[in-house]
Amino acid sequence: MEMISISLCFATFLAFLFLKQILERATTTNRNLPPSPRRLPVIGNLHQLSLHTHRSLRYLSLRHGPLMLLHFGRVPVLVVSSADIAHDVLKTHDLKFANRPKTKAVDILMNGGREVAFSSYGEYWRQMKV
The answer to whether residue 50 scores a pLDDT higher than 80 is: yes
Nearest-angstrom CA–CA distance, 14 and 17: 5
Of the chain, the end-to-end C-alpha distance in Å amounts to: 67
70 close to 45: Cβ distance less than 8 angstroms? yes
Q: How confident is the model at residue 30 (pLDDT cuts 50, 70, 90)?
A: low
Mean pLDDT along residues 23-33: 68
40 close to 47: Cβ distance less than 8 angstroms? yes
Mean pLDDT along residues 74-97: 89
Count Cβ atoms within 10 A of the Cβ of residue 36 and give its class: 0-12 exposed, 13-18 middle, 19 or more buried: middle
Nearest-angstrom CA–CA distance, 112 and 94: 24
